[in-house]
Amino acid sequence: MSEFQNIGLIGRTESDSAVLSLKRLMAFLEREGYSVVLEQETASAAPNHNARVAPKDKLGELCDLVIVVGGDGSLLAAARALAKFSVPLLGINRGRLGFLTDITPDEIEQKVGEVLAGKYMAESRFLLDMSVTRDGKPIGKGSALNDVVLHPGEFIRMIEFDLYIDGQFVYTQRSDGLIVSTPTGSTAYALSGGGPIMHPKLDAIVLVPLNPHTLSSRPIVVEGSSEFKIIVGEHNTAKPHVTCDGHEQVITKPGDVIRIHKKPHRLTLIHPLDHNFYETCRSKLGWLN
């Protein structure tokens, strides 16, 4: 008997192709005798079903495995909601890149079947927690599997901030912002900003300046256990924004303090046995074979 009996499903409901793959997956799971639990919003896109329905955060309590049908953004959202429940995630790619969702739509039955039969590899990924305080009082927080980003917000305007790592002053920087990225996020926005590609197994965090106003400011890779404090400069005319995986936005003011550290709960990401990080980089980033 499979270790996974109760399977949660989350689909990218605005995508017709994702909904088609979701229905195909549901039919396969039901034929094989698994108990299916549909995420609440996903259920609205798949009418005439017999599955149980639950809010996204409840899937972690009800399911042994959650399968996400969509792009990397869909999986990132699921990871933020479900990491605290330690429920593993498996991704079926109906997005563009698919660094995290690595099963293709035409191999749903084969690859999902192999995973349910115990033929899979599991990776542990860490997330980041972010909080913002103003005059010592909390005004916002969020979590991220990819990255926490400080950026100018609505207007393209240089911002100034102070960076501390583990209580030690690093620099005062004037730039378009800063990306604080996990290894998972190193192939996302941080890569576009000139950061290094980091293997997912690394226990490290990279800080990538966005268009710094000095040629000597370069990405820094530090221990995954590091704690970061960013103080928004008093002389900023803009109100810098902080986003987690491009969501959970907090608008800051001069003097606000942003704190970032590793989340205590880790995500378990499931892959088929033939998953290869370097092959994924080759195919997704256009490296020569």
The structural domains of the chain, ordered by start, are 6-118 (3.40.50.10330), 128-264 (2.60.200.30)
- pLDDT of 289 reads 66
Cα atoms in the 13 Å half-sphere on the side-chain side of 22 = 31
Is position 203 annotated as part of the catalytic site?
no
Binding region: 72-73, 146-147, 157, 174, 176, 187-192
Binding region for NAD(+): 72-73, 146-147, 157, 174, 176, 187-192
Cα atoms in the 13 Å half-sphere on the side-chain side of 193 = 28
- pLDDT of 10 reads 96
Q: What is the pTM of this model?
A: 0.94
Interhelix angle 108-116/16-31, nearest 10 degrees: 50
Tell me which H or E stretch contains 81.
Answer: helix 72-82
- pLDDT of 237 reads 74
CB 152 within 8 Å of CB 240: yes
- pLDDT of 215 reads 85
Walk along the chain (289 residues) and give the pLDDT tens digit of each residue: 779 999 999 998 888 888 899 999 999 999 999 999 999 999 988 777 788 999 998 999 999 999 999 999 999 999 999 999 999 999 999 877 778 988 999 999 999 999 999 999 999 999 999 999 999 999 999 999 999 999 998 777 889 999 999 999 999 999 999 999 999 999 999 999 999 999 999 999 999 999 998 888 999 999 999 999 999 998 877 789 999 999 878 999 999 999 999 999 999 999 999 999 999 999 888 887 6
**Alpha-carbon span 15 to 287, nearest angstrom:** 29
Which entry of 57, 72, 135, 162 is annotated as an active-site residue? 72
